[in-house]
Amino acid sequence: MFDFLRDFFVEHQPTEADLHRKAEQVGYEVEETEAGYSLSGEYENEARTWSGDFTEVNGILDHANSVKIGDEYRRERFGLAPGEVDTSEDWVEHKHEIRDYRTETYYGEEYKPGWRRLLGL
């Protein structure tokens, strides 16, 4: 009961369905194991596998999804492809702007409380 109230009034609590949705969004596969969860996918052009409990794997997927949003913002705002080095004089400010945008955008939407989702806010 407490989890429902916290999900509705404070912030969304991730579920196993969320874990699979997040993995699909970044092209990863998640599998439940005896020790927790296994996450497989490509990272920096290499096949990788991570394992951990629900919270750890959810954190990896949150980060991967927010980086994806940051890469899109970086391309639109500064015309830089993922991995391309920003050689402008304002590269530090750009880096912070991108980080702030991706974290606010992703986490603000992903963990939005139920009442805000219900009202479409």
Under DSSP, the state recorded for 84 is -
- Over residues 88-117, the pLDDT tens digits come to 999 999 999 999 999 999 998 888 887 877
Provide the domain count of the chain. Answer: 1
Residue 3 lies in a domain: no
Whether 5 is in a domain gets the answer no
**In this structure, is residue 6 part of a structural domain?**
no
Boundaries of domain holding 80: 11-112
- Asked whether residue 45 is assigned to any structural domain, the reply reads yes
Residue 2 in domain: no
Q: Tokens for 68? A: 């994806």
- Token readout for 35 is 């020790």
Residues 53-79: tens digit of each pLDDT: 999 999 999 999 999 999 999 999 999
Q: Is residue 38 part of a domain?
A: yes
Single-letter amino acid, residue 12: H
